[in-house]
Amino acid sequence: MLTSGIARAHLCHRPTPLEPMPALSRHLGGPQLWIKRDDCTGLAMGGNKVRQLEFYCGDALARGADTLITTGAVQSNHVRLTIAAARKLAMDCEVQLEQRVAGQGAAYYDSGNVLLDKLMGARIHAFPSGEDEAGAELAMRGIADAVRARGGKPYIVSLAQDHEPIGALGYVDAAEELVEQARHLGLTIDAIVLCSGSGSTHAGMLSGLRALGWTVPVHGLCARRDRVTQHARVLERCQRVARLLGRPGLVGADDVLTDDRLLAPGYGLLSAPVVAAMGALARLEAILLDPTYTAKAMAVLIRLVGDGAFAPDSNVVFLHTGGVPALFAYPDVVEEIHRQALAGPGEDRAPR
């Protein structure tokens, strides 16, 4: 393994399934679409952060830490899974929830990931802004100081740009896993599509593939930042990952593909094509997408297929990064999807 010898905790169910999506493929009339089910990583309803947390927690345990601290949006999957990892490893956990999405109803603050955060007993702190990465980091350091004052040994799990992206190594592993699955199936993968948020999943997958000699394009679909900003973020993370692996120069600027065409109206907010993509996957494949990440990524994939971005005989793999608990925080969106489904065949269509 490319990550052999690097400290890690074992939290993830692996390998996660690699499955065809025949109904969606037929519906769109384009390439053969596959899905890598990292919503099935096992820990506390799963998701991509489980792979990442194996390496953060391995480092934390090696340093003798007894308390994990992290930050994220109110409906953060990363926060939920950091708490779960802490509980699995008999550690304490304190988390900070940032106000990134305005104008939400009560369910956004009480249901979904927040409900699970509370169920697992984390100490929860509030941070008033969602776009102040430096301020959120400073506030976490204050939480860590309070933990030390009580005699604890804190470890901050940070996804900020100026921290070493240890978690991205989880997707270096996932790249190896995907390559092995493709070989076992005799499958030639022509493109990979994933959501690009913090950048660690994107950078890890891309770096792992390049380290294995695979030149397949990895399309990163933006969920929080514009494509230019995200390109720089992912490229910098790839450079750091390459150094962690002792393999500098794995990824060049042209390797990093970012697409922000459905980023609007903003993080955690949905447009009509995103809502339609959620409904289409649920009805056609019984696959549940989350509103913030995977639904936006799928909506862009559907648009790429409609634009002829992939050859008809190609195989395109979509990485499902989880986040399904957040669905319960958007009941109005689910009601709208249901209304559209009942409106008749004319509206039961994915956006093209």
Residues taking part in catalysis: 76
Q: What are the structure tokens assigned to 71, written together? A: 């930050």
CA-to-CA dists, residue 287 to 249, 306, 307, 331, angstroms: 37, 20, 23, 17
- Pick left, alpha or beta for residue 82 (phi over 0 → left; psi -120 to 50 → alpha; otherwise beta): alpha
Cα dihedral 148, 237, 131, 100 sign: negative
**Measured between alpha carbons, how far is 62 from 95 in angstroms, rounded to an integer?**
21
For the purposes of burial, counting CB atoms within 10 Å of the CB of 190, is it exposed (0-12), middle (13-18) or buried (19 or more)? middle
**Measured between alpha carbons, how far is 269 from 293 in angstroms, rounded to an integer?**
10
Are 31 and 190 in contact by the 8 Å Cβ rule? The answer is: yes
**Measured between alpha carbons, how far is 309 from 219 in angstroms, rounded to an integer?**
11
Determine which helix (DSSP H) or strand (DSSP E) holds 80, and give its type and residue range.
helix 77-88
Q: Name the β-bridge partners of 157.
A: 70
- Chain centroid to CA 57: 18
DSSP sequence for 7-18 = --------SPPE
